[in-house]
Structure 1
Amino acid sequence: MAAFPNLTSMPQQPYVSRPEAEDFLAALEAAFKSPQNSPTVFNAWGIGGVGKSTLTRKAKEIHGETAKIATVSFGLTEGIDEPIPLMAKLYEQLAVKDSWSRDPFWEVHERYFDTVHQLSTQAAAGWGAATPEQVTQVKQLLKFGVDTFGELALPETGKKAANALVDKGIDAAVAGLSLKDSLQQLLQQHKATKRDQALQRLMLEPLPQLTQAFAEGLSQQANQQPILLVLDTYEKVPGVIDTWLWRTLLGNTDLSAQRVRLMVAGRHSLLKTEGWRKLHQDRDVVRDLTVERFTPEQTQAYLAEIGMTDDAQVANIGRVTRGLPYYLNWIREQSEKGRTLDFDQGNQEIVRLLLQGLNDTQKRVVQLAACCRWFDSKLIRYLTEQQGLDFATAVDEGQNCYGWLTQLSFAEPIGKRWRLDDVARDVFRQSLERDELETIHSNLADYFAALSESMVLPHSSPEDNYKNPAWLELRSEYLYHLLFSGQVDFQRPFATHMFNAHFYDASELVTIPFQAIRAEFELDEHPLLGYQQRQFLKKVRPKVLSHWAMEISVLDTILAIVSPNLRHEALYQKGSALARRALYLRQKGCEEEALAKLTEGLETYSAALNLKPDYLEALSEKGNTLSWLGRYKEAIAAYDAALKIKPDRHAALNNKGVALCNLGRYEEAITAYSAALVINSTDPDIWDGQAIALLHLKLADEAIESCKKALEIDKNHAGATYDMACSYGLLSDSNQACSWLAQAIHLKPDRYREMAKTDPDFDTIRHDPRFQALLEGGEE
């Protein structure tokens, strides 16, 4: 038995230098001095316990006096599940929010949330309180701004794009715009926003504007002092934040040129995901460091720092800890508390080391807690009683099991609850036999299912549950534990909840357990999940991580089990999945297969409408599918049916205009576009569609005015740019026609160069050398 020396006077957290880590830290320091020539993101990654947090701590120590530092830890820092609150949490550590300073970020942030407050409390008409329906709309507005990333748009229309396909999928364009229609209507009517188009754009698409303001604010502060943003435990980051980080913050701002750097620590390399890889290939944005276990020499150096130099003892500790700094740090903590540990069995499992000094009952209670993502007193009471243990005295005569757990060195608070830290959870869960693990998780699944059911009020609808945050949290815990429980019929409840969550717009119900599992281990390598569970999660992953994408086979599974009152929605989703597949096949040149999928999708929408004839989204999608099949008269009938239900649905009016154009009924098309523009004059696609119809009628001057409107809204609108060229071509204005055509070809080279070769709008200038040079791929 080896006793620890007295370490009270030694440093609290030793640091062992590693060459690769020193190079990493040196590169970070150099990046502050020369940001234009340096990576923006410093990514330290590795398995749990290898010292990633120690490395971030060291970086903060180095730059603590010279830089401003803001830190969050995903899974521990509360309220950072979406980009906007994350930005606020980071920014408040850097700049005080007050009412007199004109900070770029706080100014936009305050304007946005002040307007949200007005929209949710004041009636649109200007007097009285907001109606419950309006409050619901505001909640949708908050969610819409994050879910869409401001990217939903209709396809180009009319003769210029009669056969074009929607890149984002049919249902995303139409269903998303249906919601956008209603939100725009609220903003155009409410006294707080109706006279301010800039504010309306902010409310509909807050994320791009707040991100730009965030980057601008960081840049201004970095002029005075470098800024380090530390994102720890990144393996737990919500998918929406990860996408926002690489796509919006880093992809659409000039932050990389400023003295602002991000340090991201987690279990997985950022470069394993496609979005990060593409960004890195384009901009060399990531400095990547794999943090490994200590070598024997580094382990010896660490132990020497804490006063342990006995060769035999050092050798034993090295074998037990396997070079993991987490375990070495735990040994240091125990030594500082004056505890003596037994290393005589050098090759014993680390779990036995961590549990050393505990009796069998105490060890079992620790294993029960390790199976929980979080625990409170009630949950530990339930688990101990399931094991036949006395909650009050089983582990200690003087305190109950919950109080005892909270005093363990590897327990940490999370809000008003507790949890075991990630490495300890991994170790203790893997120490359980498979049947023990499944029994505990089965008990936990039962507990959270019963607790969530107890919250359901008599005569409440399913929608009431899915709108209840407390019910959603408990139900997501149920789904998490269900997947580890070994239950044979796990797919049915998970798939049903997944589908209902999509239908009731409560995606967090399934994203929370899915991301929690993925944060623990890669799905293919998760040692605690069964093979069937791993395969199922890989199969449904597109649905869980996306608002609309789902495999047809998964939807067929759901159709077999979904409740009758939601079968029409499942059919609609299958129709949308078939349409997406058709788009993909057509892009690959597989026209025959694409046609088959579109036809099957049409039949599926019709089946949904048989169950629910007034299903607005299915009517709109049926119209779109008919248009893509070239059945324009039937498409117009479907759009008219949708408009009969919702006359102000501008997406249906716009798409009706497309179908009318393709039938050569241009005056009627202009009427449809004009009606759509009365409802929504800020959609550049509608203005461009109207321009196309005007071009067919040889009304070039009017078409130019319509294109100008589109380009005022979106200066890079490729369709409107091309149609400007066509308009000037009709007017025989070679200079303007070639200038606009060059811009269109720059935006979409293959598309518009090919179209211009046969477009009759250019017949009067076709022999102009400049026009010919553009067609041949000359200077644009």
Structure 2
Amino acid sequence: MSNRLYISRETAEELQTTLTQQLENKQTNSQYYVFLVWGIGGVGKTTLTEKLKEDQQYLADFSMVSFGRTAGIGNSIKLMDVLYKQLPDNDFLGVTSFSSDPFKELYQKYWDTIHELEKTPSKGKKEVDSEQQKLVKQLISEGASAFAKFTPAAALPETTVKKTAETAVDAAGIILSEADRIKQLLQQHRKTKDKRELKELMLEPLPKLTEAFLESCKQRNKPVILVLDTYEKVSPDIDAWLWKYLIGNAKFTESNLYVVIAGRNNILKNESWRKLQQDTNFIYDRPLERFDQGQTGTYLQSIDIRDKSTIEQVFKITKGLPYYLDKIRERRERKERIDFSQLNQDIVSLLLQGLNNTQKRVISLAACCRWFDKQVIKDLIEQQDSLEFKNAVDEKVNCFEWLIKRDFVELINGKYCLDDVARDVFRQEFWREDEQEFRQTHQHLADYFKKRRNEQLYDNSSPAQKYDNPQWRDYTSEFLYHQLYAGTKNSEIELISYLFTSRYFKQDDIVKMPVEDIISEVDIYSDQDTLLIYPLKQCLKEIRIAIDQSYYVLESESRAYWFLEVSNNIKKAGVDQALTRCFRHLHKFTGMAKFAGLLYKSKRCQPSQKLDYLQQAKTEAEMIVTEDDPEFSCDLFLWNLGNNFIELQAYQQAVDCYQIAVNFKPDKHEAWNNRGVALDKLGRLDDAIASYDNALRKLKPDDHEAWNNQGAALGK
């Protein structure tokens, strides 16, 4: 926005003055390190942050990202890298040169190790197998999470540590959890073996990289200002990293680092941010308001609109929102005629003035999309009986080519979309005019993306192969987004079924991303009518914690309740509510969703019910397995069923599961070893010794668990 009057108001000037005082180390009553600017869409937040950089860049180095727009910031580690790369290199500033850069060096060490783990086989293996690939993939995912599950035993209550130890004794010799297998990989791989600091970095990269980030900022010649725009679209993981690891770090105030957060929501309503403010009092909080009538008049006069009645009319239309005022400025600069008498106090009319009904219709359809390409628009138009894609809006160009030339359409990360404010307005208008057609359009889009995702697969693709396909995952996210707005009776069931399966395959973003977008668009805690139907608002409100932290809520042991409450202010009652809502539809699920749901239910039920739920899961697994994907089929029975039956001392069921696992993958040494453990528990020592022998002599001669187990069995 080129006109400075667009953000020339008291709040903006206060913020700039306060930030300047902090940067120049002037004496003030309070020391602020975080500057929070929030307000409704179109009020000028992005413009304000751009002007802050323009006015303060002589005092500080700026780094800016916009959530939902800036590419490559999918997790906290990548976000730090993108932010740091935007800063000028000290070595070229001619003032101070440092012999080392803590963040650059540690970040490089982390990714060098990841690449080595991905490409070089672990000790005793000839090549990197699928199991190692999965473990490294999960190591990256968990390491970048602010809710990482590699919780040291010292941090757990004494009773929890005791319980964990007892469980380990009960299943002595078994190859246990995924976390244990990841630690074992780091212990055995030549890149990390006997390197304690490197192993600690790989298991807990987020706190260590954050400290290095702070140290690098501290060494710089100028203060550093991180600008985080459109913060309403931030993921829960990155939000938690910011308040927990960066701003909540004891070294934060010494690092010469400042953070500007701009978004639609007041984050201090969040309990974690509110507690941080109570403890530190260094967040400068300022809402950004609309223009009043006097400010609107001043702005309009600056673009040569001076008629008093026109100014009053424009104020009624725009309600003082700078976004719409700036649209008037843009049109005047292009010499376009604006008939204020025809706007009848309607913002939609302001944005769409000069367009015919067909053109308005096309824009309303496009506004339903998070993003669109030519194929999406063509499909939407063709479902309309009265519209022709080639010439419905213009005789010279098709609907897509005409649409992308509108001034409220943007190209972001290679995809077209309406800017957030215009999209809000058009969708609200579409919904108000015809809610049924609004929902039908979203249902059509859901069906469209479901069809496109299915085109990415072969007919015999296993569930694992689907979730491993990035294009399939992207289209599934789009399908879920539109399915929720369609609001059919199956929308909630679809959502929770994908929540269960995406957690099983460690692809949580399939559900997280569309839900985060919806929550940024809809106030799910409001009882007022919104674009989302009431039952689905209630559903999202209740299960949001399960979506945000699916590992802790669905998959981990009961100790996670304690961890969530202490580290993230999440109460047990909220987790229990989420579980109740998630499991209420379990009997309606089929296939992979039902298997995963039964597996999670077995971890969240009364002890007397656990065995029954596991047996139901086993029955479901027998119908899911496929010879076309032996690795996936083996894993169902090895890690998820066999090991859980062992923990419940259901040894015969465990043997049955391990046998199915080795039938699919005869070279799976872990399955042979675990089968031996279960046989040992049944007193079938000869069979156990033979099973250990299969793991050792034929497959993995250096499997120390199998050697230990076989020795113990021979001793008996």
The answer as to 2:589 corresponding to 1:562 is: yes
Residue 528 in 1 paired to residue 528 in 2? no
Tell me which residue corresponds to 1:542. Answer: 545
Alignment match, 2:60 = 67
Match runs of 1:314-353 below 5 Å: 314-345=311-342, 347-353=344-350
Structure 2 residue identity aligned to 1:403: E
1:81 to 74, 77, 81: 74
Question: 2: distance between equivalents of 1:43 and 1:473?
Answer: 32
> Counterpart amino acid of 1:81?
G
1:23 aligns with 2:17: no
Q: Relative to structure 1, is the Cα distance of residues 566 and 412 closer, same or farther in structure 2, using a 3 angstrom cutoff?
A: closer
Letter of the 2:544 counterpart? R
Which residue of 1 is the match for residue 275 of structure 2?
Answer: 278
Q: Partner residue of 2:453?
A: 452
Kindly indicate whether the alpha-carbon contact (under 8 Å) linking 2:217 and 2:223 is maintained by their aligned counterparts in 1.
no
Equivalent of 1:225 in 214, 222, 225:
222
Distance verdict in 2 for CA 1:614–1:98, change over 3 Å: farther
- Partner AA of 1:64 in structure 2: Q
Residue pair 1:152, 1:176 contacting (<8 A) in 2 also: no
Aligned to 1:376: 373
Q: Deviations over 1:438-471 (max 9, x none)?
A: 1211111111011111112121101111111111
Which amino acid letter does the alignment assign opposite residue 539 of structure 2? F
378-387 or 532-541: bigger deviation: 532-541
2: CA distance, partners of 1:73 / 1:510:
21
Residues 289-688 of structure 1 correspond to what in structure 2 (within 5 A)? 289-345=286-342, 347-388=344-385, 389-432=387-430, 433-525=434-526, 527-548=530-551, 549=553, 551-564=578-591, 567-578=594-605, 597-601=606-610, 604-605=613-614, 608=617, 616=639
1:39 aligns with 32
What secondary structure does 2:340 align onto? coil
Q: Does 1:269 align with 2:260?
A: no
Check 1:106–1:98 CA distance in 2 against 1; reply closer, same or farther (3 A cut): farther
DSSP 3-state at the match of 2:228:
strand
The 1:50–1:456 alpha-carbon spacing in structure 2 relative to 1, beyond 3 Å, is same
Moved more, 463-472 or 246-255: 246-255
Give secondary structure in 2 for the equivalent of 1:44.
Answer: strand
Paired letter, 2:206: L
**Structure 2 unpaired stretches of 5+:** 93-97, 169-173, 555-577, 622-635, 659-668, 682-703, 706-716
- Provide the secondary structure at the position in 2 that maps to 1:229: strand
TM-score by length of 1: 0.72
Q: Quickly say closer, same or farther: Cα 1:477–1:160, change in 2 above 3 A.
A: closer
Other structure's SS at 2:389 match: coil
Task: Give the Cα–Cα distance (whole angstroms) in 2 for the partners of residues 453 and 640 of structure 1.
Answer: 37
Distance 2:373 2:100 in 1: 43
* Contact 1:620 1:639 (C-alpha < 8 Å) held by counterparts: yes
Distance in 1 (alpha carbons) for counterparts of 2:343 and 2:333: 22
Distance (Å, rounded) in 1 between the aligned partners of 2:597 and 2:300: 60
Q: Note the C-alpha offset of 1:92.
A: 0.4
Q: Describe the SS at the equivalent of 2:78.
A: helix
SS at match of 1:523: coil
8 Å CA contact 1:122, 1:128 repeated in 2: no
Q: How does 1:113-262 map to 2 (within 5 A)?
A: 113-125=111-123, 130-147=128-145, 149-153=147-151, 161=159, 178-221=177-220, 224-262=221-259
Deviations 1:19-43 (A, max 9, x none): 2332222222222234995222111
Cα offset for 1:345? 4.0
CA distance in 1 between partners of 2:454 and 2:123 (Å) = 40
Q: Residues of 1 paired with 2:76 and 2:673: CA distance?
A: 32
Aligned partner of residue 86 in structure 2, secondary structure: coil
CA contact (8 A) 1:376 1:418 kept: yes
Q: Is the 8 A contact 1:155 1:164 kept in 2?
A: no
Offset, 1:556: 2.8
Partner secondary structure for residue 14 of structure 1: helix
Contact 2:501 2:596 in 1 (8 A): no
SS in 1 for 2:260: strand
3-state SS of 1:27 partner: helix
Q: Give the AA of the match of 2:260.
A: M
**1:480 touches 1:514 (CA, 8 Å); kept in 2?**
yes
| 8 A Cα contact 2:293 2:320, kept in partner | yes
Contact kept? 1:232, 1:265, Cα under 8 Å: yes
CA deviations on 1:278-309 (whole Å, 9 max, x unpaired) are 11111113211111111111111211222222
Letter in 2 for 1:185: Q
Aligned twin of 1:700? none
Partner secondary structure for residue 416 of structure 2:
strand
Quick one: structure 1 residues 325 and 162, their matched pair in 2 at CA, closer, same or farther if it must change by over 3 Å?
closer
Closer, same or farther in 2 for the Cα pair 1:489/1:177, shift >3 Å? same
The answer (yes or no) to whether the contact 2:367–2:418 under 8 Å persists in 1 is yes
Contact 1:483-1:533 within 8 A present in 2 as well = yes
Q: Secondary structure at the match of 2:249?
A: coil
AA matched with 1:572: L
Partner SS state of residue 211, structure 1: helix
Separation in 1, partners of 2:308, 2:509: 52
* Whole-angstrom distance in 2 between the partners of 1:297 and 1:281: 37
Cα displacement (A) at 1:176: 13
Find the residue that maps to 1:344 and give its secondary structure: helix
Contact kept? 2:645, 2:651, Cα under 8 Å: no
CA–CA distance in structure 2, aligned partners of residues 403 and 74 of structure 1 = 27
Q: Deviations over 1:686-709 (max 9, x none)?
A: xxxxxxxxxxxxxxxxxxxxxxxx
Q: Name the CA distance, whole Å, in 2 between partners of 1:486 and 1:608.
A: 30
| Residue 435 (structure 1) shift | 1.6
358-367 or 545-554, which deviates more: 545-554
CA distance in 2, matches of 1:210, 1:555: 35
Q: Between the two proteins, what is the percent identity of the paired residues?
A: 38
**In the alignment, residue 200 of structure 2 is paired with which amino acid?**
R
Structure 1 residues 203-246: Cα deviation after superposition (integer angstroms, max 9, x where no partner):
2221111111111111111xx21211110001111111001111
| Structure 1 SS opposite 2:604 | helix
Task: Note the C-alpha offset of 1:16.
Answer: 4.4
User: Which segments of 5 or more consecutive residues in structure 1 lack a partner in the other structure?
Assistant: 1-9, 579-596, 627-633, 657-677, 680-780
Give the aligned residue type for 2:67. F
Higher gyration radius (CA): 1
Asked if the contact 1:120–1:134 (Cα under 8 Å) also holds between the matched residues in 2, the reply is: yes
CA contact (8 A) 1:32 1:260 kept: no
TM-superposed deviation, 1:148: 6.5
Matched position secondary structure for 2:525: helix
Deviation at 1:648, TM superposition (A): 8.8
Contact 1:74–1:231 (Cα < 8 Å) also in 2: yes
Q: Distance in 1 between matches of 2:64 and 2:287?
A: 21
Query: C-alpha separation between the residues in 2 aligned to 1:618 and 1:34?
Result: 61
